[in-house]
Amino acid sequence: MKNILVIGSTNIDIIAQVDHLPAPGETVGDAILSEAFGGKGANQAIAAARAGGKVTFFTCLGDDDKGRRALQNLQENHIDTRYVYTVQDHYTGTALIFVDRKGENIIAVAPEANQYLSKEKMNPYLDVIKNADLIVMQLEIPYETVKHITKLASYNGKQILLNPAPARQLDEEVLKSVKYLILNETEAEMIAGRQVSEESLPIIGQKLIEKGPENIILTLGKKGAYIFNNKRRTFVDSFPVTPVDTTAAGDTFCGAFATRILEKNDLTRAARFANAAAAISVTRLGAQPSVPSLPEIERFLMNHKISGHEK
């Protein structure tokens, strides 16, 4: 079985379900409060593991009850947690999330322990990087660490899946070492410097590919996923579902995609599989509680037939 190494954040998500997202200065009452395991790194690790992948996770947790519960949760999901680091005298990362009745959200993240996932912490573990078949990263840890890992990984001929979330500008040397760049509209607009529309998709794909990644996978929510590389442009339709909470839909896509692309090495099929996993996730509340298992994804795919088409 191939090895997926996820390097990223872990958060505890505090969720307030509200009728509508509050405007600046507005107080919205009657919120329903809950808590869930989250963090883009942990969500993607869990999504890859539940989709059947063999996952090792590098992350920093706080020296607190939240950190201990997050660690136990990762272990219960069969993730190799030997390199999970507990940062003494710091809290575990925490996200405050509002979700409205249409499933849309706004999120504020306090990174806390995630800030301490420094490149120095990774240095003793070069072997783990060398043993990985795919390295999956996001941007909720220090950018210097992401840069360092991309350098190490490309020097050792390793494949990188980068989900540049939260959105920021990226160095050319980072983008050049990426095999799969999976990003949403906001992230694509930030990196390509152009607004996403149906007409601009091929131009954005071209702009992004010229920056160095081998494959661009643009996730467009209910409009599907757009795959762009030097040989082809394919649109993979999404599955129609009624959203409850879109939190971690992108993370679920990335994790499921990582597992499937390593198994079958087919971009369209991996994106369809990941679209199905993400579609299931938006029908449930919370980040990790919403991530489906492999049998759930397979059942969903059997009941929903969609195809990819050239664009």
Active site members: 251
Sorted by sequence, the CB contacts under 8 Å of residue 68 that are 6+ apart come out as: 61
Scanning 37-45, 64-72, 209-217, 238-246 for contacts with ligand RIB by CB under 6 A, the matching segment is 37-45
| Residue from the set 64, 112, 140, 187 that interacts with ligand RIB by CB under 6 A | 140
Closest to ligand RIB by CB, 58 vs 235, is: 58
The pair of three-digit structure tokens given for residue 302, joined into one six-digit string:
């059997």
Pick one of 51, 61, 79, 95: the residue that binds ligand RIB (CB under 6 A): 95
CA-nearest of 100, 89, 174, 189 to 139 is 174
Q: How far is the CB of 311 from ligand RIB (least distance, A)?
A: 27
- Can residue 248 be called a binding residue for ligand RIB (CB under 6 A)? yes
**CA 296 to chain CA mean position, Å:** 19
Q: What is the 3-state secondary structure (H, E, C) of 31-77?
A: CEEEEEEECHHHHHHHHHHHCCCEEEEEEEEECCHHHHHHHHHHHHC
Q: Is 251 in the site for ligand RIB (CB under 6 A)?
A: yes
Q: Which amino acid is at 29?
A: G
The residue (of 39 and 308) whose beta carbon lies closer to ligand RIB is 39
Residue 202 backbone dihedrals phi, psi, to 5 degrees? -65, -35
**Token representation of residue 97:** 């999330």
Shortest Cβ 268–ligand RIB spacing (Å): 24
Stretch that binds ligand RIB, among 34-42, 54-62, 127-135, 228-236 (CB under 6 A): 34-42
Q: How far is CA 26 from the centre of its chain?
A: 31
User: Which span (26-34, 36-44, 143-151, 264-272) binds ligand RIB, by CB under 6 A?
Assistant: 36-44
Q: Which of 109, 132, 191, 258 binds ligand RIB (CB under 6 A)?
A: 109
> Which residue of 4, 5, 6, 11 would you call a contact of ligand RIB, by CB under 6 A?
11
CB-wise, 11 or 177, nearer to ligand RIB? 11
Burial class of residue 157 (count of CB atoms within 10 Å of its CB; 0-12, 13-18, 19+): exposed
Pull the structure tokens for residue 137: 């990263």
Between 234 and 252, whose beta carbon lies closer to ligand RIB? 252
Residue nearest to ligand RIB (CB): 38
Q: Which of 123, 182, 126, 176 lies closest to 156, judged by CA?
A: 126
Query: Which residues here bind ligand RIB, judged by CB under 6 A?
Result: 11, 13, 38-40, 43, 95, 107, 109, 140, 247-248, 251, 287
